[in-house]
Amino acid sequence: MNNFLKSGFLLGLGAAVAGKEKVDETIMKLVEKGNMTQAEADTIFDDFFKKGESKSGEWNKEFKEMARNQLTELGFVRREELDTVQAQLVLLREEISQLRNSGLNKEIDQVENGMENIPPGFSKDID
């Protein structure tokens, strides 16, 4: 899927570059023939440049959103979600350490030994 997205993006970029070159060439021919002044050509170039920047920003935003959605569909989590789980893990480790120090070592060891059998990637949230 990643190659498909990359190919589509590059195809669009290539078409945009080819289109820009064709417009530049046409405008320069009009200036050379005297059908348009250099000032008019510069204005047209500036307008195209501004529109191009605007569209580029829109495309980047749309591409990022599409990529984010694809990654979510594939099961990847956002950085914030990972940070939350890591913070919870730290708190649980601290809690286990406190329980060990409070004399409940035998019960904790039983729980930890049982957790060793849980496969990697297992989540209680899985349906």
- Over its length of 127 residues, how does the chain's per-residue pLDDT go in tens digits? 566 666 666 666 666 666 777 878 888 888 888 888 888 888 887 888 778 777 777 878 888 898 889 888 888 889 999 999 999 999 999 998 888 887 656 666 666 666 666 666 665 545 4
The whole domain housing 100 covers 79-115
Token pair listed for 24: 């530049």
Structural domain count, the chain? 2
pTM, to two decimals: 0.37
40 and 85 share one domain: no
When computed from its CA atoms, the radius of gyration of the chain, rounded to whole angstroms, is 29
Q: What pLDDT score was predicted for residue 127?
A: 47
DSSP run (H or E) holding 97: helix 79-101
83 and 61 share one domain: no
Q: What pLDDT score was predicted for residue 85?
A: 94
Residue 55 belongs to a domain: yes
15 and 61 share one domain: yes
Exposure string of 6-18, with b = 16+ CB inside 10 Å and e = fewer, is eeeeeeeeeeeee
Residue 122 belongs to a domain: no
Residue 120 belongs to a domain: no
Alpha carbons 19 and 122: distance in angstroms, whole number: 51
Q: What pLDDT score was predicted for residue 2?
A: 62
Classified as helix, coil or strand, 41 is: helix
- With vertex at residue 118, the alpha carbon angle to CA 112 and CA 119, rounded to the nearest 5 degrees, is 140
Residue 32 belongs to a domain: yes
Alpha carbons 45 and 24: distance in angstroms, whole number: 8
Q: Are 96 and 27 in contact (CB under 8 A)?
A: no
Residue 61 belongs to a domain: yes
